[in-house]
Amino acid sequence: MRRTLVLLALLAVALAAPLDAAAHPLGNFTVNRFSRIEVSGHRLYVRYVLDLAEIPSFQARQAGQIDAGSYARRIAHGAKLTVGGRSARLVPLRHAIAFPAGAGGLQTTRLEVILAGPRIGRAGRISYHDTNYANRIGWKEIVVGARTPSRSDELRAYPKELLHSPLDVTRVAATVHSTPGPEAAPALTRGAALQAPDRVADHGFASLISKDRLSVGFVLLSLCVAFFWGAAHALSPGHGKSIVAAYLVGARGTPRHAVLLGLTVTVTHTIGVFALGLVTLSLSKFLVPDQLYPWLNLVSALLVVTVGVSVLRWRVREWRGSASHHHHHHAHDGDHRHAHDHDAGDPALSLRRLLGVGISGGIIPCPTALVVLLAAISLHRVGYGLVLILAFSLGLASAMSGIGLIAVTAKRVFNRVDFDRGTVRLLPALSALVVLGLGLTMTIRAIPGVT
């Protein structure tokens, strides 16, 4: 008992202790852009800010692309400006770059570039279109005027209420006016202000990989904490908790089936993290990880739909068969057949269907687990990173199995109910309908992400 209390105390300290690491508030995959169009004298300028989260920064480093001058030229090429209906060139004047600390010991990237545009008269009608990183998710903001406030303070502080629905402004049209005085280009941010944008304190799973010294005790404690975060992740939205519960109740599942589902989730999630890591390391020129997530969501949804349709077809067939034989057997024979069916097992619990439900729950890797894998590679702690990810996946699976066990236990309330009599016999089919309905809902939500 004393050892248990000590372990719980250590876990609490590990979870609450402040660490230096911080995570990007919009997520580890995001590429965030900001443009401020302003006029000084008769010259038009664009102040462009690029904020790369941990994973795109890691990819850029792996590809040897962390060069401020190259970034500035790329940004100038992708920022399309027209003045008075005619295309106008933007030329990089100066730039500043910094690498603020991110989650798991990885770095993020913040780049500021001043672009010089053409001279204008007293007034000019302009159109601006930012085509940089058009296929990447993240904050996209454009403002016109030197004193116009920015919703994100030029990508320094993202509004909390907009973290789940960030701005998506890539085009603007406006009339700009010249100002009195000389043509003075906007100033760049320097020093600590450039190095320290708003970040979310990282006290969770990713912070474990960046610890300086790894004693045996800390590694064991880290595995426990990783297990905890994996279980917590399973209880967050997603991963098909409702699907697992409805499936096991309707299919008359057993604790063995719940554990098998959990093991399937573990294997699938672990393989998914490693596969996504391979894509990040080897295929980043052709495919970026955040583009895979919508497809993984769709695959997960279609698996659930397939399982739901399969189980529903079996239930309807089973119900019709039971109804057609009802008049040919007396009650005693019917009870005997009912007991025999239960002893033989429920066909809805076939290995194929169990694997379908389990894979649907684990096929979408946690982005934080990917950060841990990449950080482990960057810090040359691959073995430690792998066992952390495995512990995280086991925690995820244990929570899913626990949900399944609760569902199986609750189902036993109906053990004395004859499923071949009255409306109760429709419950397995209704359960299949619930699984199918959830799968269709997931599919409808996933389709916009791949179109």
- Single out the residue in 201, 225, 257 at which a domain terminates: 201
The pLDDT value recorded for residue 209 is 80
Return phi, psi of residue 365, to 5°.
-65, 145
Q: What does pLDDT average to over the chain?
A: 78
Answer yes or no: are the C-beta atoms of 239 and 304 closer than 8 Å.
Answer: no
* Lowest mean pLDDT across 21-25, 129-133, 183-187, 408-412: 21-25
Q: Are residues 168 and 227 in the same domain?
A: no
Q: Are residues 370 and 326 in the same domain?
A: yes
Handedness of CA 250, 254, 260, 266 (dihedral sign): positive
What does the radius of gyration of the chain's CA atoms come to, in whole angstroms?
A: 28
- What percent of the chain stands above pLDDT 90? 24
Q: How many domains does the chain have?
A: 2
Give domain status of residue 244, yes or no. yes
Mean pLDDT in residue range 419-435: 60
> Cα separations (Å) of 244 from 82, 253, 262, 329, 432?
55, 10, 10, 35, 11
- Six-digit token string for 152: 């994100």
Q: Are residues 260 and 363 in the same domain?
A: yes
Q: Are residues 59 and 136 in the same domain?
A: yes
Give domain status of residue 65, yes or no. yes
- What percent of the chain stands above pLDDT 70? 74
Which residues partner with 127 through β-bridges? 82, 173
CA gap 106, 83 in Å, rounded? 41
Question: Which residue range(s) make up the domain with 286?
Answer: 206-450
Q: Are residues 164 and 96 in the same domain?
A: yes
* Lowest mean pLDDT across 32-46, 58-72, 350-364: 350-364
The pLDDT value recorded for residue 284 is 61
Give domain status of residue 289, yes or no. yes
Q: Which residue has the higher pLDDT, 168 or 24?
A: 168
Q: Are residues 263 and 182 in the same domain?
A: no
Answer yes or no: are the C-beta atoms of 244 and 361 closer than 8 Å.
Answer: yes
Q: Are residues 291 and 247 in the same domain?
A: yes
Q: Are residues 439 and 301 in the same domain?
A: yes
> Does 139 have pLDDT greater than 80?
yes
